[in-house]
Amino acid sequence: MNSNTYSITAQEKQFAIDYLNRTGKAFVEAISDMSEKQWYRRPGPGEWSAAECAQHLLETELYFFMPSVEKMLADSPDPDRMKETAGKEQAVIDSMEIRTYKIKGQPWEESSDKVIDKAALISAFQAKRAENIQWLENSDGNFRANFMEFPGMGPIDVYQFILFIAAHTTRHTAQIQEIPVLQEA
């Protein structure tokens, strides 16, 4: 069996690339013109500021995206499990984009006095997102036969995980976009 047996289609790859590009651009646009007051404002007790949301997205891009993908792809393909993940793409996206279910951050992710350089964060995020997209453009991995267990979703494949990362960006971009509205209310 060749290494492309469980690859994604050209259409799936293009969808993921476009989705990563679109969500990354929307995130950067959401924070670029924020005032310092908006950047650091917490909408409520125990809730993240835009700066903290942005830092979380950068850390996800830097320390979670590729390490998770690499770990998944390092495992031997298990085509017998493909039926467990078939058709979960929209559910993975919805689990992040539909924000009716709130996910509470870990206490160590809540630092109220941390200074976060917005320009440096944007630059680092854009560079890492571009690197991850370039990797995807050039990859022909076993995206459909390598898996991870994901909280609330059960097993997801590599392709679905990539969609999760893009949807996660949308989730926190929406959270950020609510902050100025809350401030004006």
Residue 136 lies in a domain: yes
Q: pLDDT of 23-45, one tens digit each?
A: 999 999 999 999 998 999 888 88
Weakly modelled stretches of the chain, pLDDT under 70: 1-4, 101-113, 180-185
All residues at 6 or more sequence positions from 79 whose CB lies less than 8 Å from its CB, including other chains: 5, 6, 145
* In-domain check, residue 3: no
Q: How many domains does the chain have?
A: 1
User: Is 2 inside any structural domain?
Assistant: no
Range of the domain at 38: 10-184
Q: What pTM was estimated for this model as a whole? A: 0.89
Could you tell me where the DSSP H helices lie in 33-117?
36-40, 50-60, 66-74, 82-85, 89-97
CATH number of the domain residue 165 falls in: 1.20.120.450
